[in-house]
Structure 1
Amino acid sequence: MLGQSLPPLMAEAELLAATVMMGEHGRRRAGQGDEFWQYRPVNAGDSARLIDWRRSARGDAHFVREREWQAAQSVTLWVDPAKSMAFSGDKARAPKSDRAKLLALATAVLLLRAGERVGLAGDAAPPRPGRAQIVKLAAVLSGAEEGAEYGVPSATGMVSHGRALFLSDFFGDLTALEAALTTAADRGVRGALVQVLDPAEEEFPFSGRTIFESMGGGMRHETQQAGDLRARYLARLAERKDRLADLARAVGWHVTTHHTGQPAQAGLLWIYNALQGGR
């Protein structure tokens, strides 16, 4: 089963990652490293040993030769494996879990190519660098399933002062998310939350007699007038989004909602920029 699912996931993730320009990565800034980055004019307080005399000899001004900052960071990914993520409101549309795994793996591809260390929350795949880690992550993500209705975010495995990315519908108890974010903040970890939703969950396009049942079968509700529930549902969804925003803001994280009806590239670009901002 793994042999059938792993290659398509890796291929799709690498194709998606190829759409993002590597030059936009947040590692490009001055600091310790071997690669030349740029020349800049000498500032007050700069030591004379920092001056590049060969470049400065071309004119009257003095310049400092800066190298690119190359200290590798550790990034921890948590992809919700719960049953609620298996939902799709259209047979032609992939479930939320597929999109979450794709975005996570494509993010990992970009970060690993840039020299970062990437891993998964928990003990299955600690943050490591290199091409082999992509294969490891894809294998674990392809087999990740959980019996619970809703996922419980985990801060296990996060590296102090690293970064993290959580992908989930966040429909479960937000107390667990709050605890994970608090732990992350205590360790100096910055990151992003991506709420992955199906368009049907955002729009609530139901009317008349409808039976609502959770993906795990633990909850069931039947109504003759589903349309009457729409306003209350949308209000509750808006409240949850506001709560997510409050939790993220409290620890300096970024948060967004990504729909499975949207191009995956839009989600990946947002994640990349958010993780860059978390430096």
Structure 2
Amino acid sequence: MTRSPADLRAATLRSGAQSASGHLPALILSAERLAAMIAPGAHGLRRSGPGEDFWQYRPATQGDSARSIDWRRSARSDAQFVRDREAQTAQAVGLWVSAGQGMGYAGAPDRPTKADRAHLLALALAMVLLRGGEKVGLLGQPARAGRVQADRLAERIAASVPIPGDHDAPSPDMLRPNQRLVILSDFLTDTAWVDALLARAAGIGVTGVLMQVLDSDEEVFPYSGAVLFRSLSGAIRHDSRDAGGLRDAYLARLAERRDWLRRRATEAGWQFGHHSTGNAPATALSWLYQVLAD
């Protein structure tokens, strides 16, 4: 019996969905364990309003009720003071993880790929933020709160697939005012997009974090002798007869790239950090959460 094109497409989609969902339980379990290490809290807006934390004392004005007066503070002067609290509200956080072919690299069988580690960090961070009442979404998609959103994000992250080439970048048009972004990438390809993204972000009041995720081998360049280097897409190849002789130049270029990313981030009011897949993810997750909480 001949199957119609529609049936074939449906079968392909089901197969792809089953393949992607097969990784979902492990991803969720790992992310939940990692997220459990961080205690979430509400983020203050640094202005007076409903909240639990002390914000400031201010002189009482006409319209303030006697109940709002802080009599202990007022007793130390001739004026009356009101104790303001800091306003707290959910903030929208957008997550973006590079899908470039290079993110699929792992230098050893016992290490995760850069993409796997970035996906784990993104989902664990989302879980922590959602527990704290924040709204979270993938960049370009609605940011929502609640446990159901964690499940949605887990499904979408697990179903993500690499793009055909090495280079991947978020579109500045996907940014929305007054959100915070977390961008996870290896930043090893052309980084001209970073300037465009940060310029757009500065223009609409968006702040965030650039997090570079590298494999341990990319951090130290342990190669020597004859080595054929090529990108996972096969687009870039370099045949070296003395790989060890390239080490100093490579490490210098890596340091320059990080300095450039750090400067651009600082100028835009963003933060820059980096993480190696050979290190425990908890440190990177804690740093990401603290940066967003500041």
TM-score (norm 2): 0.84
C-alpha distance in 1, partners of 2:159/2:244?
Answer: 37
- Cα distance in 1 for partners of 2:55, 2:70 equals 8
- Counterpart Cα distance in 2 of 1:104 and 1:91: 22
Find the counterpart in structure 2 of residue 44 from structure 1: 59
Q: Name the CA distance, whole Å, in 2 between partners of 1:154 and 1:235.
A: 29
What does the per-residue CA deviation read over 1:236-264, in whole Å, with 9 as the maximum and x for residues that have no partner?
11111111112112211100111111111
Q: Distance in 1 between matches of 2:59 and 2:157?
A: 51
2:217 maps to a residue whose letter is A
In the alignment, the residues of structure 2 paired with residue 155 and residue 143 of structure 1 have an alpha-carbon distance, to the nearest angstrom, of: 23
User: CA RMSD for the aligned pairs?
Assistant: 2.4
CA contact (8 A) 1:85 1:97 kept: yes
Greater Rg, structure 1 or structure 2? 2
Q: 1:52 deviation in Å?
A: 3.9
Corresponding residue of 2:159: 143
Matches within 5 A, 1:24-63: 26-27=43-44, 31-33=48-50, 35-38=51-54, 42-44=57-59, 49=64, 52=67, 56=71, 60=75
Task: Structure 1: state its 5+ residue gaps.
Answer: none
Distance in 1 (CA, whole Å) between partners of 2:55 and 2:253 is 53
Question: CA 1:51/1:230 → structure 2, altered by over 3 Å: closer, same or farther?
Answer: farther
Unaligned runs of 5+ in 2: 1-18
Change in 2 beyond 3 A, CA 1:154/1:39: closer
Aligned to 2:221: 204
Contact between 1:152 and 1:172, CA under 8 Å: does it hold in 2?
Answer: no
Over 3 Å counting, the alpha-carbon distance change for 1:219 and 1:39 in structure 2 is: closer
1:275 paired with 2:292, answer yes
Could you tell me how far apart the structure 1 residues matched to 2:68 and 2:252 are?
64
Structure 1 residues 113-262: aligned runs within 5 Å: 113-122=131-140, 125-145=141-161, 146-262=163-279
Give the Cα–Cα distance (whole angstroms) in 1 for the partners of residues 81 and 28 of structure 2. 45
Provide the secondary structure at the position in 1 that maps to 2:58: coil
Contact 2:265 2:271 in 1 (8 A): yes
User: 1:18 is matched with which residue: 36, 43, 52?
Assistant: 36
CA distance in 2 between partners of 1:17 and 1:219 (Å)? 37
Deviation at 1:117, TM superposition (A): 1.3
| Seq. identity, % | 39
For 2:270 and 2:23, locate their aligned partners in 1 and report how far apart those are by CA, in whole Å.
32
TM (norm. structure 1) is 0.88
- Opposite residue 157 of structure 2, the aligned amino acid is L
Asked whether the equivalents of residues 93 and 260 of structure 1 are also in contact (C-alpha less than 8 Å), the reply is yes
- d(CA) in 2 for partners of 1:53, 1:176: 51
SS in structure 2 of the partner of residue 76 of structure 1:
strand
1:36/1:68 contact within 8 Å kept = yes
